[in-house]
């Protein structure tokens, strides 16, 4: 962390949010991850259904992203078991589930997991209540994040129940943020799945922090098939999420004509690997705060 850097809040889920967190810790003075909890697939979905807890997968990825890169425990958190009984479960998911059972409180469990990992920053859920993602598309209404991911021509997403309470820690972080980063990540099933919590969207609009959207490197099959960067920005705006500037790498996605300023810069990993490069993203984000 950089003591002279900005207080940063990153919103989203999945691998995209983890990349932003790895970038943020290079230049920010504080980092809070506000994480979607609508996942219903894989290990997360199974633990959610079996124990009635928030899906831990995206929360786990964010904790690991804020831990030291050479952390042995961080590597163990990502280990997936193979075999009868625990097949497919990540160790970190099971530990978070155990901590929730022991504490009776999701945020306390995440804070304890963060202490064990030695994280720099804090991971908070968008809401602690169980929620289901719902989408309206050209073909009707679809419920469940896994199903929404496979759905083209989405017009709008919302949550069931429609107005779950936002995490108090997320609201407090947005109230003092100097930089708010949305993305990268799945537009409807990660970013807007988090910001569909009404109080969280309201807090974002009131936040003093500069709001930045980090565009995806390419359209996502089905969910954003055929989208350019402008279409992503328009979808955010249609859900009440107004960003001030966009960071975009347009090597594999068309820019279109976004309604807000765009900084075009290479953000892909130079080694050809999947996703955004944390060092490049850190430099681009730091350049926005002078």
Q: What is the pLDDT of residues 62-97, one digit of tens each?
A: 999 999 988 999 999 999 998 777 888 999 999 999
Question: What is the number of structural domains in the chain?
Answer: 2
Q: Are residues 107 and 145 in the same domain?
A: no
pLDDT above 90 covers a percentage of the chain that reads 89
- β-pairing, 245-248 vs 210-214, is parallel
CA distances from 264 to 172, 229, 276 (A): 31, 11, 14
We report the CATH number of the domain holding residue 191 as: 3.40.50.10680
Q: Are residues 83 and 116 in the same domain?
A: yes
Q: Are residues 279 and 180 in the same domain?
A: yes
Q: Are residues 229 and 272 in the same domain?
A: yes
Last residue of a domain, one of 125, 155, 179: 125
Q: Are residues 118 and 251 in the same domain?
A: no
Q: What is the pLDDT of residues 40-51, one digit of tens each?
A: 988 888 899 999
Q: Tokens 């960003």 identify what position?
A: 243
Residue-number span of the structural domain to which 6 is assigned: 1-34+127-290
Q: What is the pLDDT of residues 93-122, one digit of tens each?
A: 999 999 999 999 999 999 999 999 999 999
Q: Give the confidence band of 138 by pLDDT, cuts at 50, 70, 90.
A: very high
Last residue of a domain, one of 73, 104, 125: 125
Q: Are residues 120 and 168 in the same domain?
A: no
Last residue of a domain, one of 125, 148, 170: 125
Q: Are residues 121 and 238 in the same domain?
A: no
Q: Per DSSP, what are the bridge partners of residue 205?
A: none
Q: Are residues 173 and 257 in the same domain?
A: yes
283-287 long-range CB contacts below 8 Å, 24 or more apart? 284/247, 285/23, 285/24, 285/27, 285/179, 285/181, 285/212, 285/214, 285/247, 286/5, 286/26, 286/27, 287/263
CA distances from 85 to 46, 47, 139 (A): 12, 13, 38
Q: Are residues 136 and 25 in the same domain?
A: yes
Q: Are residues 134 and 270 in the same domain?
A: yes
Is 40 strand, coil or helix?
Answer: coil
Q: Are residues 113 and 2 in the same domain?
A: no
Q: Are residues 95 and 167 in the same domain?
A: no
User: What global pTM score does this model have?
Assistant: 0.96
Q: What is the pLDDT of residues 226-283, one digit of tens each?
A: 999 999 999 999 999 999 999 999 999 999 999 999 999 999 999 888 899 999 999 9
Q: Please give the angle made by the CA atoms of 78, 51 and 198, to the nearest 5 degrees.
A: 85
């Amino acid at each position: 962390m950089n003591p002279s850097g900005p207080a940063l809040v990153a919103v989203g889920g999945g691998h995209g949010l983890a990349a932003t967190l790895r970038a943020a810790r290079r230049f920010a003075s504080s980092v809070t991850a506000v994480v979607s909890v609508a996942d219903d697939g894989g290990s997360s979905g199974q633990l959610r259904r079996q124990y009635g807890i928030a899906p831990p997968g995206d929360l786990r990825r964010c904790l690991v992203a804020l831990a030291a890169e050479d952390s042995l425990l961080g590597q163990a958190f990502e280990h997936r078991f193979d075999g009868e009984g625990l097949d497919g479960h990540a160790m970190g998911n099971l530990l978070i589930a155990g901590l929730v059972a022991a504490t009776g409180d999701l945020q306390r469990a995440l804070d304890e997991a963060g202490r064990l990992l030695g994280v720099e920053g804090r991971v908070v859920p968008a809401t602690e209540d169980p929620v289901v993602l719902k989408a309206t598309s050209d073909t009707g209404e679809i419920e469940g994040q896994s199903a929404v991911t496979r759905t083209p021509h989405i017009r709008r997403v919302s949550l069931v129940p429609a107005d779950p309470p936002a995490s108090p820690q997320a609201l407090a972080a947005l109230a003092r943020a100097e930089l708010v980063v949305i993305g990268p990540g799945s537009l409807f099933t990660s970013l807007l799945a988090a910001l569909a919590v009404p109080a969280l969207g309201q807090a974002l609009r009131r936040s003093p922090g500069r709001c930045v959207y980090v565009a995806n490197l390419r359209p996502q099959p089905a969910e954003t098939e055929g989208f350019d960067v402008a279409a992503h920005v328009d979808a955010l705006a249609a859900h009440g999420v107004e960003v001030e500037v966009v960071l975009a790498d347009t090597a594999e996605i068309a820019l279109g004509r976004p309604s807000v300023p765009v900084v075009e810069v290479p953000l892909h990993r130079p080694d050809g690997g999947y996703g955004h490069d944390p060092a490049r993203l850190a430099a681009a984000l730091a350049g926005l705060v002078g």
